[in-house]
Amino acid sequence: MAVAHLAHSWHVDSAPETVFAHLTAPENYIGLSPLIVAVRDVRPGTGERGEPVTDYVAVERFRFLKVLHWDNLIRVRMRVVAPGTALRQSVVSPGGVRLEWTVRLTPDGAGATIDDQMEITMAAPMRGFVTGQARSVQLHRAAELTRRMAR
């Protein structure tokens, strides 16, 4: 198994609480990731340590040759690490890909700094494809979240 770590930090023009509220609603990930086209089976609950968790299924759509597509159903568990300032999503995807995504929010003037970190585990032959897709999603998410928080 191969492991990759990706990190990205940026500023948005909304308070951490506003960003956190947006990121804890699974339906907001549609379009936030360019691959996610639907969210299903959203189930809020409580984790082992009493923290809020939300389990859901995200539908990633991969397009090939502009006419073919493949829908990849991924199971996601979102955990609140620190209320209002940090959350973690654990993703289980077919093909043995596992992703731990952590977002930390800190006040920055009238807005917030977002620290986005991913740890991805995958089969070694998939490393180039998986890390390339993950980095592309990470940068798209930063741009789209910045746009959404500028409203």
Round the average pLDDT of the chain to a whole number and report it: 92
Q: Name which of 14, 16, 38, 17 is nearest 27 in CA terms.
A: 38
Residue 68 has pLDDT above 90, yes or no: no
Enumerate domains of the chain plus CATH numbers.
Answer: 2-149 (3.30.530.20)
Q: What is the pLDDT of residue 120?
A: 96
103/8 Cα distance (integer angstroms): 10
- The per-residue pLDDT for range 37-62, each reduced to its tens digit, is 999 999 999 988 888 999 999 998 88
Task: Give the alpha-carbon dihedral of 151, 101, 42, 81, to 10 degrees.
Answer: -90
- The per-residue pLDDT for range 8-37, each reduced to its tens digit, is 999 999 999 999 999 999 999 999 988 899
67 C-beta neighbours (distance < 10 Å), count: 6
pLDDT tier for residue 93 given thresholds of 50, 70 and 90 = confident
